[in-house]
Structure 1
Amino acid sequence: MNKKQKKMLVRIIVATVLMIALNFIPAKGATRFLLYLIPYIIIGYDILIKAIKGIKNGQAFDESLLMAIATIGAMALAIYEDGDYMEAIAVMLFYQIGEWFQSYAVGKSRRNISSLMDIRPDYANIEKNGKLEQVDPDEVGIGSVVVVQPGEKVPIDGTVVVGSSSLNTSALTGESLPREVSVGDEIISGCINITGVLKIKTSKEFGESTVSKILELVENASSRKSKSEDFITKFARIYTPVVVYSAIALAIIPPLVRMFGMGLGADWGTWIYRALTFLVISCPCALVISIPLSFFAGIGGASKEGVLVKGSNYLEILAQTKYVVFDKTGTLTQGVFEVNGVHHNKMEEKMLLEYAALVESASSHPISKSLQHAYGKEIDRSRVTDIQEISGNGVTAKVDGTTVAAGNAKLMKKLGIKYMECHDVGTIIHMAVNEEYAGHIIISDIVKPHSKEAIAALKAAGVEKTIILTGDSKRVADQVAGYLGLDEVYSELLPADKVSKVEELLSLKLDKAKLAFVGDGINDAPVLTRADIGIAMGAMGSDAAIEAADVVLMDDDPLKIVKAIKISRKCLRIVHQNIWFAIGIKLICLVLGAIGIANMWLAIFADVGVMIIAILNAIRALFTKKL
């Protein structure tokens, strides 16, 4: 509990004790009123101040005004009829208990999200003259070497250049098992170093590192409202003034009718009491508080599992997802390509690999990296000139003045070079040297361990179609899709083709069904934006993909997609339960209050009781382990 919550709890306890104690004091008249006024002021002074401020600011119609009118009116009636002051104090007391529950619940949800703030590093260690100097992470430039000792947070994304260690990534990914890293491994900021000392060469500035991106996403998540939240906000703006005017009408019209001889057997005091009861019952606290809290708790629960949702509107869309479209490389597969075959034609294998590695040296694509890795020597880029990348086809360049082309069959056809067909499974890189076919290199990707399980789990969760879009050859795409159990396959697509295909799928689906696209690369950003909801692999995904996506999976595990959908559906179920429960109970109690059956104690239940039940129900969205 924070200081404000502790202070409120003390006020609740003091007011409760005084209210009970006053029942045993035989006071009458003004003395009795003044004694009961003490616990009323203790528990309700802030509500009265809010109501006055609301009237001054032109925003009078809120729950504070309803509580103020109802309790002041009840106190006035008790004075007029020498009645019981307990009801007025009880209304304010139980309302404040409900507010305390709401504050505690929001705090718990916020702590789940704010626990991510612990990943923010306070400093970075730079080695100078044999000593470690702590500097602000913002001052560390790209290419600097930072030292991370056991127990410290990795301050900036980079590559390990010295040392090996275990990393605690739970704050980022929700995964409790440590990750082992050694020289050459990429490492993201926000992880906690557990064992050995690491030296990391930074690849980004602090403002562009993973930890900064995550914190920015978390801080902005609550600003994007769902349709349900927008509806409740608009509903409350109209509902509250209508309730106030209805209560005034209920207090005035029946006694006036009686005065004019219409035979309604009730006096002013009875109808004013019913109007005050009506006001307490009608307070929209349960809806106004529990609906945003449900979404907030859902976002908090998801973040605890390593799934960052950028807003409650995306949580709502995710719950309606019936079509999941995947990019292949880095999403369902590891994006770790290995050369597992070289077929050469009148050229030595080593020479063919050398040409391939050099001509692809300017590219950061995983396939290019695998060629460079297979070459096994340091790349001398000064040997390569006139590099020209042909989108969706390959690369041409001059290596030591020799014209070299590396790419798929489309590139060979484009250059008018007769090539050898290859039916091996994998990505085929055809090579041409001096406009003559020199052979081809076979590169294979590795399917992620949980991809097959994730596809099966999505179908079990009610996803109607799972689809793969890839630039790979039909043969490779069909093999991966068949192994994983995907419903549809679209291969040999350029980045623009992926956008067109998603637009086509969007036009064919049912209106209420939503389409999610899952990707990780720079070329996935346009598709992530175009889909109903974009899901990016965050651990090793590109910055562009993370920026464009609506949901970010922090450990690149496709099983987290299923977890995210289940969390969103649970959250939406809770929202709908709270809406129907709150409205249903209030309508019943409003009718009972208007006809005089419901008293102020039932009104307290209809307001505060329903609010507490709705809040406790909303908190369930935080718990996701069994989903």
Structure 2
Amino acid sequence: MEITNRLDLVVDGMDCVDCAHVLQKTLQRLDGVEYCSVNFASGRMQVMGTMSFKDVSRCVSGIGYSVTDNILLESINSYSLFAKIFSNPRNIATIVGITFIILAFLSKFVVPKITIVLFSLGFLAGLYFPVRAGWAALLSGSGLDMNILMTLAAAGAYFTGQYAEASTVIVLFSLGESLEGFVLERSRESIRALMELSPLRAKLLRSCCDCKTHVGMLLPDGLSYYEHGPCPWCDADIRIVNVDSLVIGDVIVVSEGERIPMDGVVQSGESTVDQAPITGESKLVTKCEGDHVYAGTVNGAGVIEVLVTSLAQDNTLSRMIHLVEEAKDQKPPIQRFLDKFATIYTPTVVGVALMIAVVPPLVFGEPFLNNSEGHGWLYRSLTMLVIACPCALLISTPVTIISAITSAAKQGVLIKGGAFLEILGQIRVLAFDKTGTLTHGKPALIYVHCVRSDCSSSTTQDVAFSCPDCKEMVSMAAAVEKSSNHPLAHAIVQYAIDNGLNDKLAREVKIRTGQGMEGLVNGRQIIVGSHNYFDSEVQHDIAFCQQVTVSEQSGYSVILVGENGHTMGYMAFTDPLRIEVPEALNSLDDSILTVMLTGDNLSTANAIAESASVSVVHANMLPEDKLSVVKDLGRKYGVVAMVGDGVNDAPALAIADVGIAMGGIGTAQALETADVALMRDQISMIPAIMRHSQLALRTIRFNVGVSLVLKAAFMATAIFGGATLWMAVVADMGSTLFVTLNGMRLLNRKIS
């Protein structure tokens, strides 16, 4: 049985979308290849099958590229600019071609007889790689690509005696390809910069275990002898190890100013950590024992010991890089449209070029070749072939998308593909979950009212309140809520633990989704739930109901407690609104509707919505209710974005046109479930990323417009004989470089 290999490779010299298509189709025809995916954006490819690295390398070399299996590019990145230029055979051929052309022009004044020979040598030097790539495109079934079109145009010029122009055209084309490759490499290095944030090595703290030197010695307690386990006499030592060798439970030491190599929890020490590489947050965050730290962040002035909590390939930074790489393969609708347009555009222009070459000479007796009066119709058709290259159109979108997604990732916003980047710029409705999104998501018990003794206790003034009935109610509620994941349940249980009220156990616990819970505590049926739930299930008088309503109207979340069908009392909780929420929502365009979806009662929801500047409120929502509301909003208004924590509201995030999860740095599920993940809990990033998306869409439209206008202008000029081949090549390569550089402006744009 043959073993299936998986090769993650870096491709050198792949500088256009066509190149990636040809390479992928060629490799798919290679014996033993079961799966192949070429990522033009990152310059990488993944190949799976029974083939070897040598087989793949040989196949890729035949098209004119080279590959390396060193995905970290540690050695390649250390090369000088000179070494990088001369490591690419195409660059060498271009330099040789330019040299021959310069010598040819100079020879006209010195040795005219060798001028044609020098132009021919320059022509051949520039022609080699386009011919090889064009032939590979034909063999792979990719059809007419730019290499074939340029080869035909240059060869046509050469064989009609336009030696200088033929050699200049093909060498200018190769030069443009090389320049485009240099520009794209800068975009690819932005992602590699993310990879380099995480150190390759770590300082592993190892204590002496099963020490052979001290085995059998009397232990310090004087009662027993040392046999195995950590040695009490040997000091721990530090070993430098590769991060890939670390396992969960290892302890690593991070010194002052070093990057943290792994996700983990601080076991000892205290320091400040710069989390900007992951979250984009510029301020330092204090970390002490029990706090989480993340790979790629920078330790400050203290030394900390970190308990490793995930493997190298599973840490937050690795997940971010993986998601960004995947995102670059996801084409937005506008790119898919342009790809289809290019498949029609190129054959159409080639057909027009053939008609230009044939119809005027045959039908109207016009000159086929150049003469003293101007360009012949063959020459004009060759110019049209150059204009038929769709490079600028095809590259205008992916480069802009790559730059926008990479820039966002470096600032703590993960966008999982160009399709979602496009949708972010078209949002008409922003729907928010309340708890943990508009609020901090850490409610605190602040008030308790007990019916039996008609006692009210403020937990902020009297932490361990004296009323026995109030204590009994909190203790009963905590027993039932222990098995719940709801934030309010956590608040009840934590208060009970902190105040010694966590001494009861509930049995036969039942969850009433979106309503509450019930269970048996010391033989008594205890119900803990919402006001609505009690209205239908538990008897309570009007005065009590009014008290609860007043607390709800004040913005508190209220939980009621019942015993054996009667009301015991209620507990009020506060979950403060995030301070930046009103300003962030007020900064949105007036055409965008803001909606809050919450399981809270309407009074509490309205109070929060008023403070947050939310337009529409949907309260008393069960999870399935949120799904139907999101669908209705989409039908009524258009594109809907759902914002939540990515955990409790995953179904609503999934059904929305774009799901935005907050707090991705601490939640793996948020990174997986959402279409956009904010690595820090900051609502203000949402309007900022929407503006970032809109700028990306404007840039794409501008790039496409420039490309089409230039091509239309040169088509008209070529037909009327006013354009030369070299002018067409300069215009084509110039427009390609222009849209590439214009799209790459987004790489360094601040989105916050």
Shift of 1:37: 2.5
TM-score where L is the length of structure 2: 0.75
Shift of 1:32: 2.9
Paired with 2:564 and 2:242, the residues of 1 have a C-alpha distance of: 53
Residues 109 and 158 of structure 1: CA distance in aligned 2, closer, same or farther (over 3 Å): same
Residue aligned with 1:388, SS: strand
Residue aligned with 1:331, SS: helix
Q: Which residue is equivalent to 2:656?
A: 531
1:308 paired to 2:391: no
Residues 335 and 198 of structure 1: CA distance in aligned 2, closer, same or farther (over 3 Å): farther
Could you tell me which of 115, 135, 145 is aligned with 2:193?
A: 115
Q: Which residue is equivalent to 1:571?
A: 696
State how 1:594-613 maps to structure 2 within 5 Å: 594-613=719-738
Could you tell me which of 496, 515, 525 is aligned with 1:393?
A: 515
Shift of 1:426: 1.1
Shift of 1:62: 0.3
Residues 202 and 596 of structure 1: CA distance in aligned 2, closer, same or farther (over 3 Å): same
Residues 391 and 162 of structure 1: CA distance in aligned 2, closer, same or farther (over 3 Å): farther
Note the alpha carbon deviations across 1:341-363, whole angstroms, 9 max, x for none.
12223344333333333322222
Which structure carries more helix by proportion? 1
The percentage of aligned residue pairs carrying the same residue is 31
Paired with 1:152 and 1:583, the residues of 2 have a C-alpha distance of: 50
Paired with 2:508 and 2:745, the residues of 1 have a C-alpha distance of: 60
Note the alpha carbon deviations across 1:526-564, whole angstroms, 9 max, x for none.
111111111111436654443221111111211111121
1:43 paired to 2:139: no
Paired with 1:189 and 1:385, the residues of 2 have a C-alpha distance of: 42
Could you tell me which of 360, 363, 366 is aligned with 2:484?
A: 363
Residue aligned with 1:250, SS: helix
1:164 paired to 2:246: no
Shift of 1:374: 2.0
Amino acid at match of 1:571: A
Q: Which residue is equivalent to 1:57?
A: 140
Paired with 2:721 and 2:714, the residues of 1 have a C-alpha distance of: 10
State how 1:468-547 maps to structure 2 within 5 Å: 468-509=596-637, 513-539=638-664, 542-547=667-672
Paired with 1:296 and 1:377, the residues of 2 have a C-alpha distance of: 53
Could you tell me which of 526, 531, 556 is aligned with 1:409?
A: 531
Paired with 1:10 and 1:377, the residues of 2 have a C-alpha distance of: 76
Shift of 1:493: 0.5
Conserved? CA contact 1:468–1:488, under 8 Å = yes
**Greater CA drift, 52-61 or 22-31:** 22-31
Residue aligned with 2:517, SS: strand
Q: Which residue is equivalent to 1:455?
A: 585
Residues 183 and 245 of structure 1: CA distance in aligned 2, closer, same or farther (over 3 Å): same
**Greater CA drift, 29-38 or 532-541:** 29-38
Residue aligned with 1:507, SS: helix
Shift of 1:386: 2.1
Q: Which residue is equivalent to 1:140?
A: 247
State how 1:51-450 maps to structure 2 within 5 Å: 51-78=134-161, 83=162, 85-120=163-198, 122=200, 125=204, 127-129=206-208, 130-132=236-238, 134=241, 140-141=247-248, 144=249, 146-150=251-255, 151=257, 153-154=259-260, 157=263, 159-200=265-306, 209-257=315-363, 262-264=364-366, 267=369, 270-345=376-451, 346=453, 347-375=468-496, 376=498, 383-418=505-540, 420-421=544-545, 422=548, 423-424=550-551, 425-450=555-580
Amino acid at match of 2:514: G
Residues 535 and 617 of structure 1: CA distance in aligned 2, closer, same or farther (over 3 Å): same
Q: How many residues align?
A: 611
Shift of 1:75: 1.5
Could you tell me which of 566, 582, 585 is aligned with 2:710?
A: 585
Residues 274 and 550 of structure 1: CA distance in aligned 2, closer, same or farther (over 3 Å): same
Paired with 2:434 and 2:565, the residues of 1 have a C-alpha distance of: 32
Shift of 1:169: 1.2
Conserved? CA contact 2:356–2:380, under 8 Å = yes
Shift of 1:208: 5.3
Paired with 1:59 and 1:53, the residues of 2 have a C-alpha distance of: 9
Paired with 2:433 and 2:491, the residues of 1 have a C-alpha distance of: 20
Paired with 1:401 and 1:366, the residues of 2 have a C-alpha distance of: 27
Amino acid at match of 1:91: V
Amino acid at match of 2:713: I
Paired with 1:96 and 1:544, the residues of 2 have a C-alpha distance of: 47
Paired with 1:604 and 1:106, the residues of 2 have a C-alpha distance of: 20
Paired with 1:574 and 1:300, the residues of 2 have a C-alpha distance of: 16
Conserved? CA contact 1:498–1:527, under 8 Å = yes
Paired with 1:230 and 1:186, the residues of 2 have a C-alpha distance of: 42
Residues 164 and 412 of structure 1: CA distance in aligned 2, closer, same or farther (over 3 Å): farther
Shift of 1:268: 7.0
TM-score where L is the length of structure 1: 0.89
Residues 329 and 487 of structure 1: CA distance in aligned 2, closer, same or farther (over 3 Å): same
Listed as ranges, the gaps of 5+ residues in structure 2 are 1-80, 209-235, 454-467
1:618 paired to 2:618: no
Residue aligned with 2:440, SS: coil
RCO higher in structure (CA 8 A, sep ≥6): 1
**Greater CA drift, 267-276 or 377-386:** 377-386
Conserved? CA contact 2:329–2:417, under 8 Å = yes
Shift of 1:201: 5.5
Residue aligned with 1:403, SS: strand
**Greater CA drift, 589-598 or 185-194:** 185-194
Conserved? CA contact 1:225–1:313, under 8 Å = yes
Paired with 1:404 and 1:139, the residues of 2 have a C-alpha distance of: 48
Shift of 1:246: 2.5
**Greater CA drift, 369-378 or 131-140:** 131-140
Residue aligned with 1:140, SS: coil
**Greater CA drift, 513-522 or 431-440:** 431-440
Listed as ranges, the gaps of 5+ residues in structure 1 are none
Paired with 2:137 and 2:169, the residues of 1 have a C-alpha distance of: 20
Conserved? CA contact 1:73–1:276, under 8 Å = yes
Paired with 1:463 and 1:183, the residues of 2 have a C-alpha distance of: 47
